[in-house]
Structure formats: C-alpha cells, structure tokens
Chains A and B, each alone.
Chain A
Amino acid sequence: MGVSFVKVYKANCNKLFLDNMVNENLVKDVVKEPYKYGFVTDIETEKIEKGLNEDIIKLISQKKEEPRFLLDFRLKAFKRWQKMKEPDWAALGYKKIDYQDIIYYSAPKQKEKISSLDEVDPKLLETFDKLGIPLTEQKKLTNVAVDAVFDSVSIATTFREELAEHGVIFCSISEAVKNHADLIEKYLGTVVPASDNYFAALNSAVFSDGSFVYIPKGVTCPMDLSSYFRINSGDSGQFERTLIIAEESSSVSYLEGCTAPMFDTNTLHAAVVELIALDDASIKYSTVQNWYAGNEEGIGGIFNFVTKRGKCLGKRSKISWSQVETGSAITWKYPSCLLLGEESVGEFYSVALTNNLQQADTGTKMIHIGPKTKSTIVSKGISAGNSKNSYRGLVKMGTKATGSRNYSQCDSMLIGDQASANTFPYIKSQQPDSEIEHEASTCRISEDQLFYLQSRGIEFEEAVSMMVSGFCRDVFNQLPMEFAAEADKLLALKLEGSVG
C-alpha cells in the first residue's frame, strides 16, 4: 500500500526533487512499523457465554451486584434495542455484525475484593506499564489520576484519596452504582436516553464498566482525570459507560485513551459517554483513540460505534470535546452538545486520520436551545491509502436560541488519489436572531510547500509530518499538554505508514 502510494505520489509530484528524496528502503521500513499496542496479555479471564438475551443481561447485572433500578434500566433498553434496526445511513460499509457471536462480559480473574493496588494481578499492571500508563504508587503519572479499564471491568483508579479530599468522586461506574446510587439513578440515561440510537440502546442493556466523575459545587478539579480503555479479549465486545457531572461553578479536564490487541476478527466497541454541566461549570473531554485499525487488507480491527453527548444544563456552562481519532477499522462517532442554559458554550475540535481501509464517519451535533448560546466546530480530516473519512455534523438553532452563534470549519487533507474525503454538514435555523457560518475546504500537501521545506534540508518524511501537524494545529492547541505531544507523535507514526 505504502509503496504504491509513493508511486502515485511521484506521478503527481515534481519528479526533479522527489525521486532524489524518497528512498524506497526507508519507505519499506516505515510501512512495516507495526501497531505498537497489538500484544495480548495472557491472563486468566472470566467470560460468560456468547450471545445476548434477557438472562445474559440479568447475569451481568447479578455479577455486578446491581440494584433493581439498574437491572430494569438494562432490560427496558434491551427491549427497545430488539425493536430497533441497525443504522445504514452513514457512508460506512461493513460486514454484518452477529450480535449473538459476542461475549458481553469478560473480566480478568482476580480476588473477590481488592483493597489496594498491591493486590492487582502484576500481569495487568505490567500491561498498563507497557501501554505507557503505569499505575503503581512508585511509577504512576503525576498530576493525572487514571481509571484503568481492562475488557469489561475497571481494575484500578489512582489518586483516589487525594481527589476525595476535594470532594471529587472518581471511580469506576460499577463502584459508583454501589456507593453513589442516588447520583446514578438521577443522571444515567438523561443525556443519552436508551432509545437514542441502536448502539446506545445496546450499550444501555449490556454496559459492563466505565468511569464515573462527580465534581462538587465550586471545585476546580486539582488534576486531570483520565480513563484508559484496553480491549484484550478477541471475542468480547466492549461496552463502557462514562458519566461526568460538574456541579455549579466547578471544572474538570478529562482524558480518554484506548488501545486493543491485533486480532483478525472485528471487535465491537459501543460506548456511551454522558456529560452534565450545571451553572458556570465547565467540562473538557479529550480523547486520543488508537484502537487497532485492522491490517492493510482491512482484516480485523475495532468497530468503534460510540455515542458521546454533553448537556449544558446550566447558565454559562461549557462543554468542550477534543478528539484525535487515528485507530479503529470503522469509527462512527459524533460527540455532541445540547446547549440549554443561557449563554452556554459548546466546542468540538477534531482530528481524524484514516489510512489503508479505515473508515471514519465523525463529527458533532450542536443543538442550540437556550438564548445566547455559542458553539465552535473545528474538524480536520486526513485521508490516506484507500480509506474513507467523512465529516458529518448538525448545527441547529431552535426557536428560542436568540442571539446565538455558531462557527464551523471543516478541512480535509487528501494524501494519494485513492482515499476519499466527504463533508456532510446539516444546517438548520429557526431563529433569525442567530448566526451560522460554515466553511469547508479540501487540500493536499502542496508540492511547493514540500519543496520549500526540503530545500531547507528537511527530510521528506519530516516535511510531510510537519505539514500535517501544522494542518492540525488548531485542534492540537486544544488538547491538554501531555496529550498534545502524544497526538503529534501518534499522527507522525500513522502517517509515516501512509506517506511511505
């Protein structure tokens, strides 16, 4: 693939300089760069049987010792789901998923109750070490609290005591169900109702674990919070659920990372994330998604069908999504904001990079309901190889959204002439005293720019990577520091494969 790209690229580029610059061997080396996180942890796991029915749901709920209201929530969602049809409107093509061929609960075998990190299976700790997310006391990342999720369960959360001092609750959602049932019952499913869409309904029925965050009134969370999701089993789906509540005048920055081993089968990941911001609260949610994307022929990889939505309930509340999407065979994801509170703000900053046979259909929905609400959308899509990268977004001004504003900018960069870049903005207004502005453009790396950089002694590969990184700058600037550096590296790595 990579080599054929070079041929195409050569055909397009000015032969005078390019032939000298591209070394075929270098290119081949780069193509062979493997997916770094593709290993499997050999650990004894407890799995339930494949398939999905009411009994399985009852079993999951029972394993997690859930209260009655949650089992009812699950069963109701399951009934809904059975009546729903798998969506086919997105520009995605994939093999039909057999929902009876998936394991809905898989957990590493551990002691019944773990009271400290020392009791966590060393193999698990080692796994997260290898992923660059050390969890142990000695090595853990400073300034970031981590909730590590392995297949269906959360195995550890760091810095809990420190956070508790500030009244911040950060734990797995299973724990929250036990210890903060009132908050779960009050908020779960209020932003993404079980009936919202096919995959949200499925998640509501079978979700296994995920993170829960509660920031009390007036508290600025003293450190970034982070969840790290790791899929290990090849035949189980991952259905995590995240719920973040920011009370009045509080603020939090939350980071999410994901990886999975390489299997030649497709694994389904159908997560639901719900954010709630009350008066003057602000939530920043950043994702670097690097699920296994499948190989060059498109075999294997994660089907990433997630529903992420935030509700700006309070006045002057703010929800900001930033994402760097580089992984998964198929991504289907529209982190959205419901702007209810007066003067609330929604933001969406996205970089989506697709290569080989990856397909990404991503974007956002900004629903302006309250007056003087503002939203900003910046989306950068980079398509290489034979991939398909679509931006799909909705901006809607409701009848009461007086004095509201939206600005959207969606740029695509094409690398090679086999990849496709699509832009589908749906724009709707019912309020004359509001303004919507949308701009989109397509570009490729220009020969002149490349030549300029190269003439200053910059290697071809690096020149490309610099330009892509420049193309994405507006979005990277929105990421928390540690993430921005990671995203830049990740993109460069992914791209080496495509340009090479």
Chain B
Amino acid sequence: MEIIEKIKTNKSIDNQTEIQKICLDKLQSSPLPNPRSEQWRLSNKSKLSNFLEYSVNENNENNSKFEIPYPKNTQSTIRLIIGENCQIKLIEKNYSIQKLSEGELQKYIKEQMSFFNQNENWSDLLNLFLSCKNNILGLKINGSKIPPIEIFSHASSNSLNAKTLIIFLEKNCNVELLQVNLGEDNSSLSQSTFFCLEENSSLNHGVVSYGVNKSNLLNSLNVIQQKNSEYNLGSLHFKFNYARFEIRIKQSEGNAKTNIKGMQITKKDEQISTYTKIDFDGPNGFLDQINKSLADDKSHAIFEGSIIVPKIAQKTDASQLSRNLLLSNRAQIDTKPQLEIIADDVKCKHGATISQLNEEELFYMRTRGITLTEASKLQLSSYFQEIISFIPVSKDRWDLLDKILNEN
C-alpha cells in the first residue's frame, strides 16, 4: 500500500486519464500481491518491492535517445520503439499498419479492464496506471505478406518505466512479430501487451527479454483468439534480478490453435517466473505448450500453468509440459502445471520433470573425447534450441544461443 502511495505522489495527479483513475482505484482497493494469493505465492517479496522503488519515468524526451543494440535494422523489417515517436502509417498494396485512434484505444482498454481479476491482473492495472499517452502503442494490422515487425520496450537506469502495446490483427492477416524488452542497470520495466486475433488470422510472436544484473521486469501478455486463429509464442527471459512473465490466453470461441514454447534462465540470485492461464471458451481448441527453466547458482525459477476446460470446450486437445534443469544445489525450482476440466470429451495432459543434465548422455560424449564443459554445452544448446528456433524474426539475426551459452 505504501508503495502505491509513493507511486501516486511520484506521478502527477492533475492530468490523470479516466483509465488511470479506474486503475488507481482498483489498485488501492486490492492488496499488494502477497504470498496468500496463489498467483503471487512464490514471488520474492523484497524483489517485488524493489521493483516499485524507482521513480516513474514519464518523459522520454529527457533521456538520450535509446540506442538499439545489435543487430542493425535491415530494410526488410519494420522496427518500432515504444515511447519514441511511433508515427506509423503504412498503406501498401497487400497490407496496412495504422495507429489506433485515441477513441479506439480507450474503448478497447476499458473493455479489457472489465474482464480483469484484481489479483490476477495486478500487473496490468499497475501498467495502465503508470503508462502515459506516449508510452502506449496501439496498432491495427491488416493484410498479408507483411514484413516482420520488431517492437522494443526499454527501461532506462534508475527509473520505473511502463510501456503498453495493443495490437489488433484483422481477419485473415498473418504477422511475424518480435517483441524485445530490455532493462538497463537498476531499472524496472512494466510491459503489458494486448493482442486481439480476429478470425483466420495468425501471429508468430517472439518475446525476448533480457536485462543486466539489476533490472526488473513485470511482463504481462493478454491474447484473445477468435475462431480459426493461430497464435504461436516463443519466449526467452534471462538476466533479470526479478522478472515475471504472465501469459493469459483466451480462445474466445474455441476452434483456435495455440503453440507456446517458453524458456527462462536464472543465475546468481535472480528470480524469474512464468505464469500461464489458458481458457478454452469454446470447442475444438488446441494447445501445445512447453516451458523450460534452467536454474543455476542461488537462483529461483518458477513455472505455474493452468489449463481451464469448461463444459462448452468439448474436443479440446491440450498439452502442457514443464521441463526443468536444476544445476546448482543452492538453486531452486518450483513448478505447478494444473488442469481444471469439466468437458468430458477432451484430450488433456500435462507433465513436469526436474533433473540435472543427463549423466549417461554426458558420459557417452565424454567417452568420445568431448570434454565435460563441451558436452554440457552441447546438451544445453539442444535444450535451448527447441525454444529459440521457435522465436520468429530473431533466429537469423540475434544469436540468442551464443548470448546465453557464452554469457556469465
């Protein structure tokens, strides 16, 4: 509560929008996330309050322009940076990308907020309260043969930054989109993303979040899938002191496809967690999800996933797998894949494993002269590869595997 007060005073109250007022109201009436609520049970309390310690950075113009790290932009990619002037209006022969009007944005956000559960969407409430007009990017995309899109959110040092992204994919539209969240030293980034996939649309979505030692991230992703849409998500989170990735997907009419491959790597005393909730609100839904964690040193990796299959969601086919590697005896892994099922004609399964690198595989490689370090790297790279190759746009340009394997 105190912290919310602090943010409130930190932020000018005069020009609050209607949405910000609603959010503040809800934030004040709901308690801060605490261990008693299931969604925040394992979240490190002091790390979370540390997240809120920084003062809110609303005015991007005061900062020097954000330099996007390697790789350089190429002609064929559309690159947008939230918070810097994203005046985009592309109307080509096959497609169009346009900013949502102020009215459309307000309407959509309000509608979304009516579905919010205060405990579950706390990150979104905080985000929408903090993010100012400049930091909200809303797009509607239409058409096909659209060049890959890269969208950056970044948090500058010694400040709390909130960025919001809202995208409508109109009917029959296919998009590849890579979202990159970057944290500088001593920074907090609140990123909320809302996607609406209309009928027959498909989105290959990549999320790559990486920080430096003392950066924090609350990354919330909300996806609504209309029928016959396909949503593919490949994600990677690493190098955050504290990061929380929340994924909420609703197949609003069923008959949609969702594929998720996520990965989180924790070292030192970092805590990174992934929460997913998949609602099937209609029949014939499909989900294939795998989440991998790797925890080393004194770190803590968490995965909690739930699959909710109500009566209406007959013929749902859902599978969720949580695979975890625990590499140090001071590290910790928690995982909790959950099924809540009412419909009877469904195929649902989940699984979880926690282990270290496979000793027999290591031995086999070592008997062929490959050193333990190399053999471990080979095993790790195959462990990562499955996820990384699923992240669109990035795979040819970002050298994610090298970044992970060679950084310490």
Contacts and interface: CB of A to CB of B under 8 A. Distances in A.
Interface residues of A, number: 36
B126 interface: no
23 contacts: A416-B344, A419-B342, A420-B342, A422-B339, A422-B341, A424-B336, A426-B334, A426-B336, A427-B333, A427-B335, A427-B352, A429-B324, A429-B354, A430-B326, A431-B329, A438-B337, A438-B350, A438-B351, A439-B349, A442-B347, A442-B348, A444-B345, A444-B346
A435 B354 contact: yes
Interface residues of B, number: 35
A498 B348 CA distance: 23
Contacts of B289: none
A442 B326 CA distance: 28
Nearest to A420: B342
Contacts of B5: none
Contacts of B337: 423, 425, 438, 440
Nearest to A388: B342
A433 B356 contact: yes
A353 to B, nearest CB: 15
A434 B355 CA distance: 6
Main secondary structure of the interface of B (DSSP, over half): strand
Contact of B327 (A430, A432, A435): A432
B344 A436 contact: no
Interface of A: 12, 89, 397, 399, 412, 414-444
Contacts of A12: 344-345
A436 B352 contact: yes
Contacts of A399: 329
A357 to B, nearest CB: 14
Nearest to B337: A425
Given A423-B339, A438-B352, A444-B346, 16 more contacts: A12-B344, A412-B339, A414-B344, A414-B346, A417-B345, A422-B339, A422-B340, A424-B336, A428-B333, A429-B354, A430-B326, A432-B327, A434-B355, A437-B351, A440-B339, A441-B349
Contacts of A430: 326, 329-332
Nearest to A414: B344
B343 A421 contact: no
Q: Chain A CB within 10 Å — which of B314, B327, B346 has the most?
A: B346
Nearest to B334: A428
A63 B330 CA distance: 53
A228 B332 CA distance: 43
Contacts of B340: 420, 422
Closest 4 CB pairs of A and B: A414-B344, A441-B349, A438-B352, A436-B354
Contacts of B333: 427-429
B106 interface: no
B349 A436 contact: no
B345 A427 contact: no
A423 B330 CA distance: 29
Given A12-B344, A418-B311, A441-B349, A436 B355 contact: yes
A108 B332 CA distance: 54
B328 interface: yes
Given A436-B354, A440-B350, A425 B336 contact: yes
Interface of B: 38, 311, 314, 324, 326-356
Contact of B346 (A434, A439, A442): A442
Contacts of B336: 424-427
Given A425-B337, A435-B355, A441 B348 contact: yes
Nearest to B325: A432
B339 A442 contact: yes
A423 B342 contact: no
A417 B351 contact: no
A421 B349 CA distance: 12
Nearest to B341: A421
A427 B356 contact: no
A437 B352 CA distance: 6
Contacts of B344: 12, 414-417, 419, 444
Q: Chain A CB within 10 Å — which of B324, B328, B330, B353 has the most?
A: B353
A428 B324 CA distance: 11
Nearest to A13: B345
A399 B324 CA distance: 17
A420 B328 CA distance: 39
Contacts of A425: 336-338, 352
Contacts of A419: 342, 344
Contact of B342 (A417, A426, A431, A432): A417
Contacts of A422: 338-341
A420 B354 CA distance: 28
A426 B338 CA distance: 9
Q: Chain A CB within 10 Å — which of B324, B352, B353, B354 has the most?
A: B354
B322 to A, nearest CB: 8
Nearest to B340: A422
Contacts of B355: 434-436
Contacts of B332: 428-430
B345 A432 contact: no
Contact of A439 (B314, B326, B351): B351
A408 B257 CA distance: 29
B348 A435 contact: no
A441 B339 CA distance: 9
A441 B337 CA distance: 12
